[in-house]
Structure 1
Amino acid sequence: MLMSNTDRPARLHYMPNGFRVLTPGDHVTCAVTSARIAIEDLRYWDVASQRAFASAALATEAMAPQ
């Protein structure tokens, strides 16, 4: 039986130039806003903290020194 990845969160391992899918799914959650990010739209993440971000502005804000 084929399993659909629709409406399932993916688990990813973020690397400097891409990511590896650990658990298949169709989206990840933004670390700042909790918004769903479709895997095909994912462009911003932090390798050190293994977090995804919905936009460059959110990633910059989250990684800025306090």
Structure 2
Amino acid sequence: MNRHDPHRSDGEAQIRYLDGDFQIIAPGTFVRCAVTGRSIPLDELRYWNVDQQEAYVDADAALKRHKELRAQA
């Protein structure tokens, strides 16, 4: 997605997280971190969980969620 795309939506995107990639279901400029609630610009999105379909703002947030999920299992 290009920041200068005239057809983009400035709201929250809906994403399908895939292995090593993601698919934009509904346009937007950001997604929310499942752990912190912070917005993550799509061009900065690096961490997500395919099984949970969640995005994470950074590696620390991803690790925290991973530990939570393991504790529930």
Query: Could you tell me the TM-score, scaled by structure 2's length?
Result: 0.82
1:5 aligned residue:
9
Identify unmatched segments of 5+ residues in structure 1. none
1:1-66 paired onto structure 2 within 5 Å: 3-6=7-10, 8-64=11-67, 65-66=70-71
CA RMSD of aligned residues (A): 1.1
Deviations 1:17-63 (A, max 9, x none): 10000000000000001000000000000000000000011101101
- Normalising by structure 1, we get a TM-score of 0.90
Aligned length: 64
Unaligned runs of 5+ in 2: 1-5
